[in-house]
Structure 1
């Protein structure tokens, strides 16, 4: 091993042997074999460094090696260099620069749209959940990592980018989008008659505060005339775990919200609701679809298991894993899948999703949901669900989804209309006089 190599991979070696989770694993491996493998890495590194057709810096090679190691674990583990780590920290605060689009890597090697964010350049340009992006400014994305593709989509505010899109078997077409500073209000609200409508687009640091403001606004406007609340989590890709817990807690007075279980049994964590219900027992309907993932599924699962809300829509995405951001000093951070989360009833939704209590397909001509059936289980390298009854639940949901669909009248937002009707019905029923006999 050369001195040159020792300097170049010092970070990688410390990464492997200092992190506690890797140190424990290293004890179970033969140290001699581990160092042989590091020597193999040394040989490959030096060959790339000296013979690759284009000159690459040591940092580029090492970061690419780490990215490859993490991305091979599952679709959600990745390396964040210093710039990406800074961008991620900004995004969780609810403001960032870019197109306003949530993406993942498709098994085909193309970039798949999970969902466009409301009222962003991508949303206004007509991008849809399930779209496949094959080219960025004429250059193919095949062979790029997700981080590399995201890098290409970022750029100066006001600069255009042209993406080649494939949609549901249609001929590929180009979409030109102008980059902008994305300011995403996590919570939006309005009144629908005497029913409060709350849409959470993602779970950021603003979410709990925004939810409380919305409910306070409803109470001030309607008082005792408030009939219930519709909580719209459609196309919400998730976000901060603590904010999902806070939103669930806002409607629950007691009981478990979610538990997380890592590789070590002693690391199980349980999160419980505190006394108090911001909605004061009013009916709640939660809207979900195939774009509702992660933190959205925590909320839907908790309210469903405690029978606090009716879940309406279509089956959710099925991302039941927890990613921990582990800072790596000046080098950035790593996003590592460290646990699975479980609903209060003890079910993992990994690769399965949350099944709605009332299944209502989208009837809008321009669909707002995922629409193409892409979910966590479809992603390359996704974690397997270890629940014994998970396969049965998934098979049942697939059978229902692939069965004959009823013809429904086209409306602007059919799912929301059904949710409002449901709350109106519950409210009317609760006001009906009861006949009793003594």
Structure 2
């Protein structure tokens, strides 16, 4: 249903309880580890998704999750007193130990729907949140306002329109960077110990979620940057267009996730039906199935690394467990919990953890990740080509 809020799995703070670096697309507003449902009650008529994803009869929350009634009550009480319902709800979520729970206001949540189309209004920079709370530029989108202003990886982001960002949550920093296309935003930065400012104008931006290139030996490399709307079908199209008999590389490195339905569609490009993953929601097990008719003949290697997260891990895990692909790279992030949204009385939205995902072989992803069949910290693509060569593809 157009306009329905997506069911999402996004992190509040990947640093909670561990010395981790939080990577997020500051201009986009999509935090690392996204994995979202396109509808509250999602049933794919082609058989991709056989599950109802919303259970109003669920019992008490499990350990490490927030009680949605308590969260809603806190928001209502705060709003009645003229205080921030979002802040009150977030305080309850934080105390609950729900590592991935998060509360968003209406504008933040509406903007996320735009992100899932692969388009947004921003400045075009990726940033990292360090363990000490510092915000640094990780990379800059070519041709973006940030790129034209000369921003580069390693620059420290100190402020946005005069408001300090050190120690802020991901959602707060993203909200500061957002705005109407054409409006200016002043960025306070530091490089090599020297502070400076840059004024850039926000603009409509877009990232291609799927890109395809062909190597000299005929191998087709399908890079999936994220699972935004339409990305699954683009993967299927790329597989169908690949030269007969040539090998395939599915590059999931750095993919933070996205829409679960798109991830299942992408997995379907390489499977002839069958199980992609199972997940439980407050003790009730559900299953995700691939569409029939995928390409099961071409040799396939999936490239993964520590930035492969959430919905991207579902794809890698399914292809590995089903014996469809050889995975090459390094261990994936390990984001395998399920979040679902609850609209609060003040109009904000709380995404709370309700369950976990498992691969077809029953492996839990959460906190563990996926170990590749062949480890390769460097030269991953070259190692993958050798694997395909061993499968009688390539030179």
TM-score, normalised relative to structure 1: 0.64
The verdict on how the C-alpha distance between 1:235 and 1:347 changes in structure 2, with shifts beyond 3 A counting, is: same
Matches within 5 A, 1:17-416: 24-25=59-60, 58=82, 61-72=84-95, 73-100=97-124, 107-111=131-135, 133-136=157-160, 139-158=163-182, 159-162=184-187, 164=189, 176=198, 179-193=202-216, 194-218=218-242, 222=243, 224=244, 226-263=245-282, 265=283, 267-277=284-294, 279-328=295-344, 331-362=347-378, 414-416=379-381
Task: Indicate conservation of the 8 Å contact 1:67/1:79, yes or no.
Answer: yes
Distance in structure 1 (CA, Å) of the matches to 2:353 and 2:178: 25
The verdict on how the C-alpha distance between 1:65 and 1:154 changes in structure 2, with shifts beyond 3 A counting, is: same
Distance in structure 2 (CA, Å) of the matches to 1:119 and 1:292: 25
The verdict on how the C-alpha distance between 1:301 and 1:147 changes in structure 2, with shifts beyond 3 A counting, is: same
SS where residue 258 of structure 2 aligns? coil
Deviation at 1:67, TM superposition (A): 2.6
Distance in structure 2 (CA, Å) of the matches to 1:298 and 1:259: 10
Count of aligned residue pairs for this structure pair: 327
Deviation at 1:144, TM superposition (A): 3.0
Deviation at 1:21, TM superposition (A): 6.4
The verdict on how the C-alpha distance between 1:20 and 1:213 changes in structure 2, with shifts beyond 3 A counting, is: closer
SS where residue 204 of structure 1 aligns? coil
**1:126-172, CA deviations, whole angstroms, 9 ceiling, x for partnerless residues?**
665x9875544554324533322211122343534425469xxx758
- Residue 401 of structure 1 corresponds to which residue in structure 2? none
Task: Indicate conservation of the 8 Å contact 1:187/1:198, yes or no.
Answer: yes
- Residue 372 of structure 1 corresponds to which residue in structure 2? none
Deviation at 1:175, TM superposition (A): 8.2
The verdict on how the C-alpha distance between 1:290 and 1:256 changes in structure 2, with shifts beyond 3 A counting, is: same
Deviation at 1:307, TM superposition (A): 1.5
Bigger radius of gyration: 1
The verdict on how the C-alpha distance between 1:302 and 1:161 changes in structure 2, with shifts beyond 3 A counting, is: farther
Gapped runs of 5+ residues in structure 2? 1-53, 62-68
Task: Indicate conservation of the 8 Å contact 1:231/1:287, yes or no.
Answer: yes
- Residue 423 of structure 1 corresponds to which residue in structure 2? 388
Deviation at 1:302, TM superposition (A): 0.7
- Residue 379 of structure 1 corresponds to which residue in structure 2? none
The verdict on how the C-alpha distance between 1:94 and 1:233 changes in structure 2, with shifts beyond 3 A counting, is: same
Distance in structure 2 (CA, Å) of the matches to 1:114 and 1:76: 22
Distance in structure 1 (CA, Å) of the matches to 2:380 and 2:58: 50
**1:164-214, CA deviations, whole angstroms, 9 ceiling, x for partnerless residues?**
469xxx758768565331212221112112111111111111111211222
Distance in structure 1 (CA, Å) of the matches to 2:110 and 2:287: 30
Deviation at 1:63, TM superposition (A): 2.0
Deviation at 1:346, TM superposition (A): 1.1
The verdict on how the C-alpha distance between 1:240 and 1:103 changes in structure 2, with shifts beyond 3 A counting, is: farther
SS where residue 241 of structure 2 aligns? helix
Distance in structure 2 (CA, Å) of the matches to 1:173 and 1:283: 51
- RMSD, aligned CA: 3.7
Distance in structure 2 (CA, Å) of the matches to 1:319 and 1:165: 32
Bigger proportion of residues as strand = 2
Higher relative contact order (CA 8 A, sep 6+): 2
Distance in structure 1 (CA, Å) of the matches to 2:316 and 2:392: 21
The verdict on how the C-alpha distance between 1:172 and 1:342 changes in structure 2, with shifts beyond 3 A counting, is: farther
Deviation at 1:112, TM superposition (A): 6.9
Distance in structure 1 (CA, Å) of the matches to 2:270 and 2:138: 27
Distance in structure 1 (CA, Å) of the matches to 2:57 and 2:89: 14
Distance in structure 2 (CA, Å) of the matches to 1:421 and 1:210: 26
